Amino acid sequence: AQTVTQSQPEMSVQEAETVTLSCTYDTSESDYYLFWYKQPPSRQMILVIRQEAYKQQNATENRFSVNFQKAAKSFSLKISDSQLGDAAMYFCAYRIRDDKIIFGKGTRLHILP
Amino acid sequence: DAGVTQSPTHLIKTRGQQVTLRCSPKSGHDTVSWYQQALGQGPQFIFQYYEEEERQRGNFPDRFSGHQFPNYSSELNVNALLLGDSALYLCASSLLRTSGDQETQYFGPGTRLLVL
């Protein structure tokens, strides 16, 4: 069965510093997608970044980047120059082609001013 | 361009009642997925609708049913509500490519259901 594990229930980072959120997943598939979603207190689930498993290059979106290690089944999110608006729950998620999305339990990120 | 919208935002029901939640997909999207998010947990997949048919289903009982209309909007119905059905219900829309691969799913703000 496919599973997604986020081992850090909560993390804190000083404003303007860099933080890395960890995620591991379990799958026997070779073609899949990985996502990081952000859910602020407003509850809206917002896509932060997406990675196709067949791409070796790590995805980057402005201050957000991932470290995708396919063999290790690891998909961490790095947030650079952390801002107060980055405070939220972050969910790592996995999907194969047209299948459902499987989410981890989330990591709550606190930004310290 | 309106994103995914859901109604109502909050709902309070009592055990045994029935509830209907509504979702309008993002413009241009044809597929709607529903997720249940219990407090402190990640979302769990309920089912997905495409071309007015249930295309995939997660591990939820038959009390959970849905519908998709010709304009791609969707409803989630839950019968015989239990206390454990209290959760945030999220709707996500996407475009199913002809290859069968979905574009990224975009989520609505959710409906918070409280069952007393």
Q: What would the pLDDT profile of A11-70 be if each residue is shown by its tens digit?
A: 999 999 999 999 999 998 888 999 999 999 878 899 999 999 988 899 999 999 999 999
pLDDT of residue A99: 76
For range A77-81, the mean pLDDT: 98
Whether residue A113 is preceded by a cis peptide bond, meaning omega within 30 degrees of 0, is no
Q: Is A98's CB within 8 Å of B96's CB?
A: yes
pLDDT of residue B23: 98
Closest residue to A44, CB basis, from B33, B44, B109: B109
| Å between A53 CA and nearest CA of chain B | 14
Read off the pLDDT band of A97 (50, 70, 90). Answer: confident
Q: Which residues of B touch A59 (CB under 8 A)?
A: none
pLDDT digits (tens, 9 = 90+) for B77-110: 999 999 999 999 999 999 887 666 667 889 999 9
Q: Is B101's CB within 8 Å of A98's CB?
A: yes
For range B47-62, the mean pLDDT: 94
Rounded to 5°, angle at Cα A102 from A48 and A67? 45
pLDDT of residue A59: 93
- Name the burial class of residue B11, with classes exposed (0-12), middle (13-18) and buried (19+) by CB atoms within 10 angstroms of its CB: middle
Q: Is B92's CB within 8 Å of A104's CB?
A: no
First-to-final CA distance of chain B: 37
For residue B47, CA distances in Å to A84, A107, B32, B64 come to 35, 25, 9, 9
pLDDT of residue B98: 65
Type of residue at B48: Q
pLDDT at B71 > cutoff 70: yes
Type of residue at A22: S
Q: How far is CA A8 from the centre of its chain?
A: 12
Please report, rounded to a whole number, the percentage of residues in chain B having pLDDT higher than 90.
84
Mean pLDDT of chain B: 93
Q: Is B109's CB within 8 Å of A47's CB?
A: no
* DSSP letters for chain A: --EEE---SEEEEETTS-EEE--EEE-S-SS-EEEEEEE-TT---EEEEEEETT--SPPEETTEEEEEETTTTEEEEEE-S--GGG-EEEEEEEE-TTS--EE---EEEEEE-
pLDDT of residue A49: 95
For range B61-75, the mean pLDDT: 97
For range B37-53, the mean pLDDT: 94
| Å between B16 CA and nearest CA of chain A | 27
Paired tokens of B30: 């044809």
Could you tell me if A64 and A81 are in contact, meaning their C-beta atoms sit under 8 angstroms apart? no
pLDDT of residue B100: 63
Could you tell me if A6 and A23 are in contact, meaning their C-beta atoms sit under 8 angstroms apart? yes
Q: Which residue of A has its CA nearest to B45?
A: A100
